Each structure stands twice: as C-alpha cells, then as structure tokens.
Structure 1
Amino acid sequence: MKILAICGSLRAASLNAMLLRAAARLAPPDMAILVYEGMAALPLFNPDLDLTPPATVLDLKAQISAADAVLIASPEYAHGVTGVMKNALDWTVSSDVFVNKPVIVFNASPRATHADAALREILGVMSAKILETASVKLPVIGAGLDEDGMLSHPDIAEILKAALLAAKTELQSFPLD
C-alpha cells in the first residue's frame, strides 16, 4: 500500500512535515508513506501552461496517480489553506488525478478549522474521496514536540497509529473504478 504524503508548509522546521515523517515511521509494515519533496519547486499556477506543464508539475501528478492514497497535512494561514498547498492543488484541477482518489487529512492544530474546511472543500470539488475515519486532528501545535517527540508521546503516537490502521482498513475495501 503506497501513500503519498504532502505537506502544505515550506518551513524547514514545519510541524506538519514532522507529523508526516512521524506517520511514515509508524506506518504498518505493508504501508509505505512517501513524503513528497517537490512543493518548493512547483511554479506558480498558470493555466497557460496547463497543456504543456513543467516537469515538476508532471512529477507531482505522476506521484499522486501512482499512490493508493494521498495524506495531506497543512497549516492554516489567515483562516485558509497555505498558498503553497493551494498552488499544488491548482496544478491538478484540470487533470483527473484526484478523481476518486482516497485522501487522508491530518490537522496538527485542532483550532485550525478554517483551513481544514477549505481543504476539504477543494478536495471535494476535485472529486477526491476523503477517508474520514483516518482523518484526524492532533494537538501538535504548541505541544513543543519534534518528530521524535511525536513518536514517543503516547497520545499522539496512538492517534497516528489508529489513523493509519483506519486508512489501511478503508483502502482494503475501497472500490476500484
């Protein structure tokens, strides 16, 4: 089972990126979580380039297509999704890479309700299938945890493990179109 993890932050010390890496380390043996590393290389979305997209965009679409599911963790900026996350999603709108694609949403700040709702709205418009039982809110922001701290924190680690097991269960019964 292959899951592509996408972080909506470019910060070197991004808690959302740490959360995705922690999830990758806690994944069941038959689940591989690959963290997408190309967000900073994506150019600003330009519909004029949609017919002949840059190589970085083709790579993003190929990685999404090849994944059994996508896992997204993104901070909230000014009550919305980050510009980098919106930009990446905009590059995929005219394709079918998210149509019926299972998506898991991790929210590292339970107070960040606006971005979570906006992200879910965008994904819904693109016909992605959000795996609700695997999508969780984790109290990571303000907890002073790094990646290793998330792994050793009993509550955070258990929430992550349960979410990944729920994703595995849902993906095993996910209808193929």
Structure 2
Amino acid sequence: MKILAICGSLRAASLNAMLIRALIRLAPADIKITAYAGMATLPLFNPDLDLTPPICVLDLKAQIAATDVVLIASPEYAHGVTGVIKNALDWTVSSDVFVNKAVVVLNASPRATHADAALREILSVMSARILETASVTVPLIGAGLDEDGVVGHPEIASILKAALENGKAEWKSQQY
C-alpha cells in the first residue's frame, strides 16, 4: 500500500510534520509512506489558472493520483483548517484526484475538533472516502516529545501502528 502524507503546516517545528515522520518510521514493510514536500511551493489558488496550472500543482495532483491512500495531518488555526491545507485542496477541486480516494485524517491535538470536522467536510464534498479506522487523534500537544520520543512511546506508537494496520484492512476491504 502506498500512502502520500500531506502536512497542513509549514512550521519547522510542526507537531503534524513530526507525526508524519514518526509514522514513516513505524510503518511496516508493506506500507510505503511518502511525505509530500511541495506545500510551500503551491501558489495561492486561482481558478483562472485551472486550465493551465503551475507545474507544482500538476505534481501535487499526480502524486495524489499515483497513491492508494492520502494521509492528512494538519493543525487547527482559529477553529478551522489551515490556509496551507485548504489551498492545496482547492487546487484539486476541479479534478477527480480525490473522487473515491481513500483518505486518513490524523490529528495531533485532542483540542483540534473544529479543524478535524472541517477537514472531513471538505474531503466529503470532494467525494473522498475517509478510512475511519485509521483516522485517529494522537495526544502530542503538550507531551514534550520529539520524533524519537513519539516512535519510542509505547502508547502513541501503538496507536499509530494500529491505525496503519486498521487502515490497510479497511482500504483492502473497499477495493472494487
């Protein structure tokens, strides 16, 4: 199973980016997770450019299309999704890359309920299939852990490994 992991934060010390890096390290051999590296290069969404989008937008769409599952880990800003993740998703709205695409939503803070709900709503409107058994909230905010600490934390590592296995099983059961 191939997973494209998208972080909705550009912050160097992002907990969500750290969560993705830890998940990459914890993934079993049959699950390949690639972190999307182009968020900072995406220009602000402009529907006038939809017919001739910038190369970085074409690359984002191609990477989403070429993967089995898209994983999104994004913080909450002012009770909503970040502008970064909303911008990336807006660039894909006129295409079909998210139609029937399996998506996992990760949340690094139990307090970020508004963004989680908003992200799920956006993905639903885009006809994505959210893999609920793999979409988890991981209590990283305030935990004081670095990436090694997340990977070595028995409870958090167990949550992440279970999410991957559950997601793989749910994804396989929905193949048609």
Shorter chain as denominator, the TM-score bin is over 0.9
How many Å separate the matches in 2 of 1:111 and 1:29?
A: 32
Show the 5 A alignment for 1:1-177: 1-176=1-176
How many Å separate the matches in 2 of 1:66 and 1:20?
A: 19
Q: Give CA-to-partner distance per residue, 1:137-167, whole Å, 9 cap, x none.
A: 1100110111111001111100000000001
Q: Secondary structure, in 3 states, of the residue corresponding to 1:103? A: strand
TM-score by length of 1: 0.98
Shift of 1:175: 2.3
How many Å separate the matches in 2 of 1:159 and 1:107?
A: 12
How many Å separate the matches in 2 of 1:72 and 1:149?
A: 21
Shift of 1:172: 1.6
Once superposed, which parts of structure 1, at least 4 consecutive aligned residues long, lie more than 3 Å away?
A: none
Q: Which runs of 5+ in 2 are unaligned?
A: none
Count of aligned pairs between the two proteins? 176
How many Å separate the matches in 1 of 2:174 and 2:69?
A: 10
Identity among equivalent positions (%) equals 78
Q: Which runs of 5+ in 1 are unaligned?
A: none
Q: Secondary structure, in 3 states, of the residue corresponding to 1:70? A: strand
Deviates more, 1:164-173 or 1:49-58: 164-173
TM-score by length of 2: 0.99
Q: Give CA-to-partner distance per residue, 1:59-84, whole Å, 9 cap, x none.
A: 00000000000000000000000000
The residue type paired with residue 98 of structure 1 is: F
What CA RMSD, in Å, does the superposition of the two structures yield over aligned residues? Answer: 0.6
How many Å separate the matches in 1 of 2:95 and 2:146?
A: 36
How many Å separate the matches in 1 of 2:118 and 2:168?
A: 25
How many Å separate the matches in 2 of 1:131 and 1:20?
A: 17
